[in-house]
């Protein structure tokens, strides 16, 4: 792990400048006389001192650019930029804030998706949640915010830069994923179950984990960036409260456009639609030719509609009847899965507003089609 | 078309050369004063009321009648003559004035109207528009849409034709003896009695035959392997073009499954 002289001197750092002014601090594992005789130079810390945050133009600019509430101090803002790989001390890195912020973010993303598209299949729901608040998206968000990375972490670095230790070249990826022991154990468990069952799911977004032994790209930069964004959400929540955190997530995460219709891929759409119609007690779906041109020519076009009874469920155009039928079935299935009660659907956290209207239960679907 | 007289055809050609219906009408008055038969004149009147394009269509077979040779036909056909610019002519002919209601409000002669013209290009309907049938019961839009459909849409009596007329195969009509017969035939001559042939004989679906045979433990791995080898041999004979076409076909179907 990252060896630093911080363990010797960490007790003389404080999270806020007001705390640093107090003279009667307690040394727990260090000799006070030794500290007094040897005042620590600033460069001996693994991350910038909290009071340096007040003099960083970058940090102040970032705070202003994001329109963060005034209640969120710059010192906390500076702490969100320190990754555990830069400073292992949990009192000075963003581990706790990112844990909190990640939970808040995934709550809002999940309730938004579940209320807006109540019929989404599990895999699509995970993919959509990953697209909204996955590591890669959060990295893009942080880079759009204008956050740069420090070349190497240290106390002399500007606190407005993201500080983390990059994986040294030549390290085997499997030992150093920057994961906690608990997470690593869980990964090992999932990997073993993967070997047994053939597929498995990651805890957050249902990603299928790569098979053990298969090389994956190291993602420490993405992890550091995503932890930073989560930590900002956590910081807003801690200092400015629930509503501010919800507003922040809505404005920065949920406001992004995601074309959810592109996430689907079916294996047997015609059969799946037939099963759906049977389950919902609709008439058996029949493919009908709406129009066609150039049959028996080099480039024909068939427009096929899928009808259940007299009602058209989906429509597709293709150069062959079979493909057009598949397209029409896919369109019908997407139309089923992408049912939405409306654009401005209420989510449970809206009830936290003062004088909120009484809650009306949202639509809860019985589940995806199993065939 | 074939009944049009030669004289008529020649006049038509003349009218067509004039290109403008107005001048054609003038021509008609001139020719009628020159004592042409009244029947021809009336035909000519009809002809001049056609547009220039239709007149050309009318002229073509007659020109064939007139001349046995294609060179003569070329000489008669004004549009295909080399020295004339046909592109500009056809372009200007196709430059039709739009319907006045489609003119934008900033045009010289805007049409006052109280409604919005919504004329989108034809495209596939969006999957985000849930069909009425797929709306859940408690959705408020369901009642509204049902009421609107009853009020405004005519009842749909005639549906478009289905892709393949459903083959009527009777269900649950085979007895245990029939099934035993199926299995016996398959075991005796597995190459001769294919699933399709058995299905035709017993008037049931080949799916049912395959279910019967797999459940009774008839081993078809050898035949499957043979068929697979046959297919591989056929595939090995494919040239680069057919192989490419097949690969593209495969890709198109993959895209269709994603709905892209």
Is the same domain home to B177 and B188?
yes
Residues A160, A291 within the same domain: no
Residue pLDDT, tens place only, B46-74? 444 444 445 555 555 555 555 544 444 44
Query: Which residues on A lie below 8 Å from B253 (Cβ)?
Result: 323, 326
Q: What CATH number should be reported for the domain holding residue B194?
A: 1.10.10
Cα A261 to Cα B28: distance, rounded to the nearest angstrom: 64
Chain A residues close to B125, C-beta within 8 Å? 315, 331
Give percent above pLDDT 70 in chain A: 74
Task: State whether A313 and B136 contact (CB < 8 Å).
Answer: no
CA separation for the pair A66, B124 (Å, rounded)? 40
Q: Is the pLDDT of residue B34 over 50?
A: no
- Residues A224, A325 within the same domain: no
Q: Inter-chain contact A282–B256, Cβ cutoff 8 Å?
A: no
Of the candidate ranges A42-51, A160-169, B103-112, B178-187, the one whose mean pLDDT is the lowest: B103-112
Residue A279 lies in a domain: yes
Q: Rounded to a whole number, what is the distance in Å from the CA of A288 to chain B's nearest CA?
A: 4
- A311 touching B (Cβ < 8 Å): yes
> Residue A5: what pLDDT?
42
Q: Between A and B, how many residue pairs show a Cβ–Cβ distance under 8 A? A: 95
Count structural domains, chain B: 2
Q: Does residue A4 contact residue A46 with C-beta atoms inside 8 Å?
A: yes
Residue pLDDT, tens place only, A3-13: 444 444 444 56
Domain presence at residue B232: yes
- Would you say residue B55 lies in a domain? no
Same domain assignment for residues A281 and A245: no
B118 located within any domain:
no
**Quick check: is B176 in a domain?**
yes
Q: Which domain holds residue A235?
A: 50-170+216-260
Q: Which residues of B touch A282 (CB under 8 A)?
A: 133
Contacts of A257 in chain B (CB under 8 A): none
Q: Are A269 and B257 in contact (CB under 8 A)?
A: yes
pLDDT of residue A85: 84
- CATH code: domain of residue A297: 3.30.160.20
Q: What residues form DSSP beta bridges with A316?
A: A304
End-to-end Cα, chain B, rounded Å? 48
Whether residue B74 is contained in a domain is answered as no
Domain that holds residue B214: 172-218
Nearest to A91 by CA among A15, A182, A169, A191: A15
Say if A227 falls within a structural domain.
yes
Per-residue model confidence as pLDDT tens digits over B214-224: 888 888 888 88
Q: How far apart are CA B86 and CA B90, in angstroms?
A: 6
Chain B hits for A327, Cβ within 8 Å: 256, 259
Q: Is residue A362 part of a domain?
A: no
A292 touches chain B (CB under 8 A): no
Shared domain check, A331 and A247: no
Residue B185 lies in a domain: yes
pTM score, two decimals? 0.69
CA distance, residue A325 to nearest chain B CA (Å): 9
A289 has a chain B CB within 8 A of its CB? yes
Instruction: Report the alpha-carbon angle A139-A140-A146, nearest 5.
Output: 95
- CB nearest A308 (choices: B133, B162, B252): B133
In a shared domain, residues A148 and A255: yes
Report the relative pairing of strands A301-308 and A311-318 from DSSP bridges: antiparallel
Contact assessment for residue A95 and residue A84, using Cβ atoms and an 8 Å cutoff: yes
What phi and psi, each to the nearest 5 degrees, are found at residue A311?
-100, 135
Q: Domain total for chain A? A: 2
Closest CA to A243 of A349, A172, A91: A349
Number of H helices, E strands in chain A: 13, 3
Q: Report the pLDDT value the prediction gives residue B38, as an integer from 0 to 100.
A: 41
């Amino acid at each position: 792990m990252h060896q630093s002289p911080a363990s010797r001197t960490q007790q003389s750092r404080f999270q806020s400048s007001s705390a640093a002014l107090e003279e009667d601090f307690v040394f727990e594992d260090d000799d006070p006389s030794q500290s007094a005789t040897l005042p620590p130079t600033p460069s001996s810390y693994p991350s910038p001192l909290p009071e340096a945050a007040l003099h960083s133009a970058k940090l102040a600019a970032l705070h202003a650019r994001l329109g963060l509430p005034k209640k969120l101090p710059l010192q906390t803002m500076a702490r969100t930029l320190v990754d555990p790989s830069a400073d292992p001390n949990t009192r000075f890195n963003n581990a706790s804030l990112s844990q909190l912020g990640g939970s808040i973010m995934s709550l809002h993303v999940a309730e938004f998706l579940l209320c807006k598209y109540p019929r989404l299949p599990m895999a699509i729901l995970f993919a959509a949640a990953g697209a909204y608040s996955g590591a890669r998206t959060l990295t893009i968000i942080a880079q759009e915010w204008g956050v740069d990375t420090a070349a190497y972490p240290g106390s002399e670095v500007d606190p407005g830069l993201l500080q983390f230790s990059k994986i040294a070249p030549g390290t085997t990826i499997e030992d150093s994923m920057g994961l906690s022991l608990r997470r690593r154990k869980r990964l090992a468990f999932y990997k073993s179950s993967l070997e047994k069952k053939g597929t498995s799911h990651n805890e957050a977004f249902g990603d299928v984990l790569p098979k053990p032994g298969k090389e994956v790209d190291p993602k420490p930069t993405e992890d550091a960036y995503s932890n930073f964004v989560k930590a900002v959400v956590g910081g807003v929540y801690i200092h400015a409260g629930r509503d501010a955190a919800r507003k922040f997530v809505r404005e920065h995460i949920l406001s992004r456009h995601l074309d959810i219709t592109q996430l689907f891929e079916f294996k047997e759409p015609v059969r799946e639609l037939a099963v759906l119609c049977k389950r919902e007690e609709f008439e058996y779906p029949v493919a009908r030719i709406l129009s066609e041109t150039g049959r028996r020519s080099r480039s024909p076009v068939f427009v096929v509609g899928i009808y259940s009874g007299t009602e058209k469920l989906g429509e597709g155009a293709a150069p062959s009847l079979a493909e057009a039928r598949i397209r029409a079935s896919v369109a019908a299935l997407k139309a089923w899965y992408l049912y939405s009660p409306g654009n401005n659907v209420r989510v449970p956290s809206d009830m936290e507003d003062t004088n909120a209207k009484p809650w009306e239960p949202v639509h809860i679907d019985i589940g995806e089609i199993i065939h | 078309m074939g009944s049009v007289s030669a004289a008529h055809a020649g006049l038509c050609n003349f009218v067509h050369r004039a290109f403008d219906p107005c001048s054609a009408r003038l021509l008609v008055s001139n020719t009628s004063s020159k004592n042409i038969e009244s029947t021809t004149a009336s035909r000519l009147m009809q002809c001049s009321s056609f547009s220039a394009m239709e007149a050309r269509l009318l002229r073509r077979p007659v020109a064939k009648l007139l001349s046995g040779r294609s060179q003569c036909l070329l000489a008669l056909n004004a549009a295909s003559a080399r020295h004339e610019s046909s592109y500009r002519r056809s372009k200007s002919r196709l430059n039709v004035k739009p319907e006045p209601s489609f003119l934008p409000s900033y045009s010289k002669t805007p049409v006052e109207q109280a409604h919005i013209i919504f004329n989108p290009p034809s495209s596939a309907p969006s999957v985000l528009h849930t069909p009425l049938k797929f709306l859940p019961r408690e959705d408020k839009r369901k009642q509204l849409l049902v009421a609107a459909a009853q009020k405004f849409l005519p009842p749909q009596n005639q549906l478009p034709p289905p892709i393949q007329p459903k083959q009527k195969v009777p269900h649950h009509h085979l007895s245990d003896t029939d099934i035993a017969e199926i299995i016996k035939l398959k075991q005796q001559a597995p190459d001769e009695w294919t699933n399709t042939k058995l299905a035709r004989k017993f008037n049931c679906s080949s799916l049912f035959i395959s279910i019967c045979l797999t459940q009774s433990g008839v081993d078809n791995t050898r035949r499957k392997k043979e068929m697979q080898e046959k297919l591989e041999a056929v595939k090995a004979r494919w040239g680069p073009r057919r192989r490419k076409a097949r690969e593209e076909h495969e890709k198109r179907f993959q895209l269709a499954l994603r709905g892209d």
